[in-house]
Amino acid sequence: MEKEYLLANMTWQEVEKRLEDCDIALVPLGSTEQHGPALPVSTDHFIATQFAHKTAETVWDNHKVVVTPPITFGFSPHHMEFKGTITLSELTLSSMIADICHSLAQHGFKKIVIVNGHGGNETAISNALHDMHGNIDAKVYHLNWYDMAGDKIKEIVTPPVYHACDMETSVAWYLGQRVLEDKRVDEPGKVLVPGFIIPDGLAPPPRATVSYSFKEITESGVVGYSTKATKEKGKLIADLVLERLVSFIKEIGKM
Ligand SMILES: [Zn+2]
């Protein structure tokens, strides 16, 4: 039997039939935003979608999950000074997430997993989850692919791990994203408050935050060392992320 996990390719009757087997749906979520001179604006939703597809393929024998079409726009006002970025408001994004989850739940998907690829979306996701809690007949889970390997990433890549960096470029490249190899640049990003506000997603405490535009911390749009990126590093990280995504689906599949 062919592994048909793309909801968009299925008829309504096939979806109805699938629900007799499996009630898990994955919803890839990303952004359309600048990723420096070497990576296209689709990078966040491209990576999230690839991970969702690979997860569905890998768990197929035990769990015939479906993957919805990706949410390709996210919350990216902090990238709007770079051309090609398209942002939703936080309210639009959280409403969109909730509407998609309510639709899936109404049809019988009882476990919905938002596979996120963009840090800027986390508040909107969390707002949507709080909003749905208690008024949706499903469990809605949220995970960020980059958190799935957060404990190992620093052993593999050059920090900062932030934006269009060594890590993100390596993973995107390995997964098949277009990479303009000779346009890759290194820009560690401007430290806004020394010791407290450092552009690095894995920076250790102490930490403080402030609202800022990416233009304030980077000229190129990159925060990190994208010239260090390789497909080999991307594979190391992607394999680990996938292994943990698969474990997660197996765990919720038992519930
Ligand atoms: Zn990104």
Beta strands in the chain (DSSP E): 24-29, 66-67, 111-116, 139-144, 186-187, 224-225
235 alpha carbon to ligand 1 midpoint, in Å?
17
188 alpha carbon to ligand 1 midpoint, in Å?
15
129 alpha carbon to ligand 1 midpoint, in Å?
22
pLDDT value of position 159: 95
What's the CATH architecture for 7-254?
A: 3-Layer(aba) Sandwich (3.40)
165 alpha carbon to ligand 1 midpoint, in Å?
9
* Neighbour count for residue 142 (Cβ, 10 Å): 18
DSSP state letters, 232-254: HHHHHHHHHHHHHHHHHHHHHHH
Q: Which residues of the chain have pLDDT under 70?
A: 1
39 alpha carbon to ligand 1 midpoint, in Å?
9
CA 167 from chain centre, in angstroms, equals 13
26 alpha carbon to ligand 1 midpoint, in Å?
19
pLDDT value of position 2: 84
44 alpha carbon to ligand 1 midpoint, in Å?
5
Rg (CA), the chain: 18
pLDDT value of position 165: 98
Q: Before 199, cis peptide (omega within 30)?
A: no
pLDDT value of position 208: 96
208 alpha carbon to ligand 1 midpoint, in Å?
22
Per-residue pLDDT reduced to its tens digit, 144-187: 999 999 999 989 999 999 999 999 999 999 999 999 999 999 99
pTM above 0.95?
A: yes
pLDDT value of position 1: 59
Nearest to 103 by CA among 124, 145, 132, 74: 132
19 alpha carbon to ligand 1 midpoint, in Å?
33
9 alpha carbon to ligand 1 midpoint, in Å?
27
